[in-house]
Structure formats: structure tokens, C-alpha cells
Homo-oligomer: A and B are copies of this chain.
Amino acid sequence: MGVKTSLNSKGELSAQIAEAIRAAIISGALPFEHRLPSEAELSDQFNVSRPTVREALKRLAAQNLIRTLRGATGGAFVNRLSFEEAYAQQITTSTLLLSMNDVSFETACEARYALERACLKLSATRRLPDHLATMRAEIHRQGQPGLSDESFCNSDVAFHRALVDGAGNPVLSYQLAGAVEAMQPLMNMITFTARSREKIICFHTDIADAIEGGDAKKANTALNALAEYTIALAHNVSDRHRQNQSGVDSDQSEITRSSSTEPTE
């Protein structure tokens, strides 16, 4: 029996090994919770050293494909990708993509509201009392005086999450999580005046009312109004931004310290 697996392709060994194992997982040859051979056995099978195997396993761990446990019964186990993990991955990827490709606020906004619009009909018929309660609660929170911009944006995200989750389709929620959450940094750029908050809350209330009444059409109208208003707000901000902006080129080259760091020596 061919226990040894040769790798002919080119490139780094750890990448090849990671790819081989990933393919095995995706194909279903390695079922969930299945324990991979130990690092020592793998390095034997692939005829490489243990550090190389470890680099391969770390690659897979970074993609949530496996978890590793220490100890006598430890090892690397095929991870069942949960919706939670998928959400998180989706969000980080979306956030990075947006921040790295200077997507215009208009484009991102358009995408976000277009996607949300897709949920309205389902949400209007299926939303549970929970979702509605969350929406109402967030609206209330948004009306609190003295709420920071960041908190307001967080609440905004929570409101829309509830709206999306109301559709009762986890796949839909997963797909939209990235769109909604990834917008947050961009949203945070907008300094909401009291007046604009008031209007936004008004739109939110309209949406919640429509969802409560099962009126998808009315919800759609309200969401459209919110979308238009948001984009208009952003337009103002970006105009002001353009005026203030000069060629600022930060030249930091040190890695930012993690929260728990201290200079040594």
C-alpha cells in the first residue's frame, strides 16, 4: 500500500501539502471531525520534515478547515465550517476588499441596499417577533441623545442584520453579513448630525412598520428612500473631504503593537 505520497508539482512544499489535504477535505474523502494523521506520520507520508508539515497545517487552520488539539488524543481534526465562522471570514474578506480597492461609497452602498432589498419580501412574511423586537430596540437606541457616532453605526448594522435575518434564510444572512458589516468602516466616516439621525430613524421606523404589517412594497419604498438619503449624505461628506484633503502620505513602517504590548529595553 502506497503510504507515501509524492508531490511532483512545483512551488513550496507546505503549499502543496496544504492543497492536497484541502482537496481531500473538499472532496469529502476526509469527513468532518476526522482526525488527520499525526504530524510525524504526515511528514513520513509526504516525505518532508515536520516543520514543513506544520506550515501546511497552519495554512489550513487559517482557513478554518482544521482545528488542532494537543495531548495524547490530540491532533488535527477536519473542522465543520459553521455559519458563524463563515460569517466572520466573509466579513473580514469583504472589509479587506473594500478597504484595499478604494471602492466608492456609492458603489458599496448601492450593493448593500440592493442586497437588502432582496430580503424584504421574505422578511415581511417570515420575520419572527424576535427580529421585529430587535429592530424596534435598535431604533430606540438610535434615538438616545449623546450616542456616539460609532455606537449609532453599530446600532445601524444591528438593525439591518435583524432585517436580513428576518428572512429566515441562513444562506442569505451569510451572504449579506459581509456586505452589511463591511460597510461599517465607510459608514463611520459619515458624521451624522442630529438632523440626519432623526431622518434615518424615521426611515427605519417606516421599514419596521412595513415589516410588521407584512407590507413588502411599503418596506421597499422606505428602504429606497433610506438608500437615497444615505448616498446623498455621503456625497456631502466626500465633497467636504475632498476640500480638506491634501497628499498625506504616512510612512509608518513598524507593526502596530497588539493591545497588550510594551516596549522592552
Q: Which positions in A face B, CB cutoff 8 Å? A: 1-9, 14, 16, 18-21, 23-24, 26-32, 34, 36-37, 45, 47, 51, 54-56, 58-63, 65, 80-83, 86, 89-90, 92-101, 103, 107-108, 110-112, 114-115, 117-119, 121-122, 167, 169-172, 174-176, 178-179, 250, 252-258, 260-265
Contact of B179 with A58 in the complex, beta carbons under 8 Å: no
Partner of A115, one of B18, B31, B107, B175: B175
Contact of B256 with A171 in the complex, beta carbons under 8 Å: no
Contact of B108 with A261 in the complex, beta carbons under 8 Å: no
In the A-B complex, list the 7 residue pairs whose CB atoms are closest, starting with the nearest.
A2-B263, A111-B171, A59-B62, A8-B260, A4-B264, A118-B118, A62-B62
Q: List 15 A-B contacts (CB under 8 A).
A: A2-B262, A2-B264, A4-B263, A14-B58, A26-B96, A27-B256, A30-B252, A31-B250, A51-B54, A54-B55, A58-B62, A59-B59, A103-B170, A110-B171, A175-B178
> Min CB distance, A189 to chain B, in Å?
13
4 more CB-based (< 8 A) A-B contacts, given A6-B262, A108-B171, A175-B175: A7-B261, A51-B54, A81-B93, A107-B171
Q: Which residues of B contact A169 (CB under 8 A)?
A: 107, 110-111, 114
Q: Which residues of B contact A252 (CB under 8 A)?
A: 29-31
Contact of B175 with A111 in the complex, beta carbons under 8 Å: yes
- Each complex incorporates copies of this chain amounting to 2
Kindly state the separation between the CA atoms of A36 and B18 in the bound complex, as whole angstroms.
24
Kindly state the separation between the CA atoms of A174 and B34 in the bound complex, as whole angstroms.
32
Q: Which residues of B contact A55 (CB under 8 A)?
A: 54-55, 58
Contact of A89 with B93 in the complex, beta carbons under 8 Å: yes
Q: Which residues of B contact A110 (CB under 8 A)?
A: 122, 169, 171-172
Partner of A174, one of B5, B31, B97: B97
Contact of A7 with B59 in the complex, beta carbons under 8 Å: no
User: Nearest CB to that of A185 among chain B residues?
Assistant: B26
Q: Which residues of B contact A167 (CB under 8 A)?
A: 114
> Min CB distance, A20 to chain B, in Å?
4
Q: Which residues of B contact A118 (CB under 8 A)?
A: 114-115, 117-118
User: Nearest CB to that of A260 among chain B residues?
Assistant: B8
> Min CB distance, A11 to chain B, in Å?
11
